[in-house]
């Protein structure tokens, strides 16, 4: 059952990641990887909300498998983030590479803090 929950979550997360990346990147005429940035920050927010729900005891043990491991695991992508950042640096866009790293860390942690705070307010 656990494996099926992870697979089901990933079946949603992977296409959402791809479609979101394409839609966001299409709207921005820049080398900055806005699509990957967006899915990673949204994933941080979802995972922190989920963590808050689990900590408060309002989520069953199956929810983290479905949404955390499955959905967020397929939605977010450290490998693409790394590849795109390295590619930016190799292509001479070092400012965008550094901005990608800095913005991703700050926005990801910010989203996680917002999610945990919201979860605590909602379920505490």
| Number of H-type helices and E-type strands within the chain | 6, 0
How far is the C-alpha of 43 from the C-alpha of 16, rounded, in Å? 11
73 labeled part of a ligand binding site? yes
The answer to whether the CB of 51 falls within 8 A of the CB of 117 is no
Task: Please check if 89 is assigned to a binding site.
Answer: no
Gyration radius of the chain's alpha carbons: 16
- Would you say how long the chain is, in residues? 124
User: Annotated binding site for Na(+), which residues?
Assistant: 73, 76
User: Annotated binding site, which residues?
Assistant: 73, 76
């Amino acid at each position: 059952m656990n494996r099926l929950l992870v697979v089901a979550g990933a079946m949603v997360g992977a296409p959402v990641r791809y479609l979101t990346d394409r839609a966001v990147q299409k709207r921005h005429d820049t080398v900055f990887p806005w699509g990957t940035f967006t899915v990673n920050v949204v994933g941080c927010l979802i995972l922190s909300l989920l963590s808050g729900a689990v900590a408060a005891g309002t989520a069953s043990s199956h929810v983290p498998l479905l949404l955390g491991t499955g959905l967020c695991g397929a939605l977010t992508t450290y490998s693409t983030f790394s590849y795109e950042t390295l590619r930016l640096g190799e292509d001479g866009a070092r400012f965008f590479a550094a901005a990608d790293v800095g913005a991703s860390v700050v926005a990801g942690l910010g989203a996680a803090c917002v999610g945990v705070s919201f979860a605590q307010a909602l379920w505490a």
